[in-house]
Amino acid sequence: MDALDRVVKPKTKRAKRFLEKREPKLNENTKNAMLIKGGNANLTVTEVLKDIYAVKKPFAVMYKRKNITRPFEDQTSLEFFSKKSDCSLFLFGSHNKKRPNNLIIGRMFDYHVLDMIELGVEKFVSLKDIKNSKCPEGTKPMLIFAGDMFDVNEEYKRLKSLLIDFFRGPTVPSIRLAGLEYVLHFTAVDGKIYMRSYKVLLKKSGCKIPRIELEEMGPSLDLVMRRTHLASDDLCKLSLKQPKGLKPKKKKNISHDALGTTYGQIHMQKQDLSKLQTRKMKGLRKRPAEKSAEDGGATPKKSKSA
């Protein structure tokens, strides 16, 4: 359409900042997730969505109204939502007789669906049901995946990548060690995936590293994998491609040897050794008698050249 082709020139600074936040960048923003309810979402699925929203705040958007779409058949409405709210992860919940308590978890690349995996919720224990103290909102969770299925099976590999992407949170350069409070543990056994969330208590142990005690906290889900819609290999490769500017710059002229010594190289210009400034040793200074003798010897040369 003509309107979509045109360059939208922002009229205010605020609009300009808004557009700049959404355009492709070298270092990207943290991925936002949108949580959508399907046409016939039941209580369980709604509770799941609400709990995941609580975990993922503030990088999540919860859609309050029911949206009657089928992601596996038609992806245009999902892509439209993603474009509107600038979210690249989504979680769609629905329920029908054939697929009870259905959750579709997926991600986008360039506002088009990349991967989608349909999971069925078999058992769900909500945040409200477990009466413990919870950790503060926005804590970066530790993620642990147990089970060899996550490496052997291709679909499970994609699911692992999706779950990491979903729950990762912002990328930070440093972290407060006492603030490691939340851990999400995924176990793949027997065709089922058990997701458990625990609150971490750091107890005193004899040495520097504390002993860990876990307390069951947040949502716990028993999931079973149903349908999948995975991206083709070349699209995957395209999305994984990192721009060249992100590679860390090599520090030149610094080298390390095996023993841990750091060597540096300095490049000097050619020095005139006759004009070098050395330490003045008083004892080695020329006495006046020697100096006159040298002068006497030197002057004949000068007269010859002149």
Partner 1 sequence: VEAVLAAAEEQEAEKRRSITVEKELELEYDLGNLLALDRNPPPAAALRGAGPRREELLRALARDNTQLLVSQLWELPAERAGGAGGPLVAQLPEPTFRLPREKPPPKPRPPTRWEQFARLKGIRRKKKTSLVWDEQAKEWRRRWGYRRAGGDPSRAWLAEVPAGADPEEDQFARLRREKRERVARNELNRLRNLARAHRAGSAVPAAPLHPTGHQDRDELRRVARVARVSTASLGRFQPRLPKESAEPPSRSGGKKRRFEPLLGNLAAERSRQLELLRDMGGKKPVLDITRAVNKQLRQEEAEAAAANKGKKQSKRGKRGRRQQRPGRSGKKSGARRQPQQQKAAGGGAGG
The C-alpha atoms of residue 24 and residue 243 are separated, in whole angstroms, by: 11
Within positions 5 to 24, which residues make up the interface with partner 1, using CB under 8 A? 5-7, 9, 23-24
Between CA 41 and CA 51, with CA 46 as vertex, the angle to 5 degrees is 155
Closest CA to 161 of 114, 203, 126: 114
Binding residue for partner 1 (CB under 8 A) from 15, 19, 68, 212?
212
CB contact at 8 A, 218 and 134: yes
The C-alpha atoms of residue 216 and residue 194 are separated, in whole angstroms, by: 14
Q: Least distance from C-beta 304 to partner 1, angstroms?
A: 46
Closest CA to 146 of 182, 190, 184, 186: 186
* 3-state secondary structure (DSSP) of residue 162: helix
Q: Which two tokens stand for residue 248?
A: 């860390």
Task: Answer yes or no whether residue 100 interacts with partner 1 by CB under 8 A.
Answer: no
Q: Report the amino acid identity of residue 252.
A: K
The C-alpha atoms of residue 108 and residue 92 are separated, in whole angstroms, by: 13
Binding residue for partner 1 (CB under 8 A) from 12, 133, 171, 277?
171
Task: Answer yes or no whether residue 214 interacts with partner 1 by CB under 8 A.
Answer: yes
The C-alpha atoms of residue 120 and residue 222 are separated, in whole angstroms, by: 8
Nearer to partner 1, 28 or 257 (CB): 28
Task: Answer yes or no whether residue 241 interacts with partner 1 by CB under 8 A.
Answer: yes
Binding residue for partner 1 (CB under 8 A) from 3, 43, 175, 276?
175
CB contact at 8 A, 223 and 126: no
Task: Answer yes or no whether residue 225 interacts with partner 1 by CB under 8 A.
Answer: no
Task: Answer yes or no whether residue 198 interacts with partner 1 by CB under 8 A.
Answer: yes
Q: Least distance from C-beta 255 to partner 1, angstroms?
A: 21
Task: Answer yes or no whether residue 75 interacts with partner 1 by CB under 8 A.
Answer: no
Within positions 267 to 286, which residues make up the interface with partner 1, using CB under 8 A? none
Binding residue for partner 1 (CB under 8 A) from 129, 137, 216, 294?
216
Binding residue for partner 1 (CB under 8 A) from 48, 49, 116, 200?
200
Residues binding partner 1: number (CB under 8 A): 73
Q: Least distance from C-beta 173 to partner 1, angstroms?
A: 6
Binding residue for partner 1 (CB under 8 A) from 42, 77, 165, 229?
165
Closest CA to 188 of 150, 162, 227: 150
